Amino acid sequence: MKSTNHKFEVVYTEKELEGKVEEMKSLGYKKHDIHVLADNADILNSVETQEGVHTHETETITDRFKSTFTGKDAVREELTKLDLSQTEIDEFHNILENDGIVLYTDHRNDD
């Protein structure tokens, strides 16, 4: 695994997601440093409204359009930006395709 400043978590339900976001906050992560990747827009809208975290829908119309014309998978492209190994990219991509929800953080407040 490449060394990054990201912490990753995987959940499969909205309730698990809300619990994990609260856990991350209790560990010192700021809400603006928590990102949620999912294919379910309803879950993303709910957690963004309730928790104030960053959300990223994995398969928007724009992503599908881009993938069609570039031949590149938009989700994999976004995961690549997180400086993950190819194995990690494949693993998270598979999770997202199977209705999983991926949370990751950028920084932690260690004051």
- pLDDT for res 73: 67
The band of 108, judged by pLDDT with boundaries at 50, 70 and 90, is: low
Evaluate if residue 15 carries a pLDDT over 60.
yes
Dump pLDDT digits (tens) for 34-75.
999 888 888 888 887 778 888 877 765 445 444 444 444 677
Of the candidates 86, 34, 83, the one whose C-alpha atom is nearest the C-alpha of residue 55 is 34
- pLDDT for res 110: 52
> Higher-confidence residue: 28 or 64?
28
How many angstroms separate the Cα of 79 from the Cα of each of 22, 30, 46, 49?
24, 21, 23, 24
Dump pLDDT digits (tens) for 67-107.
444 444 677 778 888 889 999 999 998 998 899 999 999 76
Domain boundaries, the chain: 6-106
Q: Is the whole-model pTM more than 0.85?
A: no
What is the Cα–Cα distance from 77 to 87, expressed in whole angstroms? 14
The SS3 call for residue 60 is coil
- pLDDT for res 17: 94
Evaluate if residue 111 carries a pLDDT over 50.
no
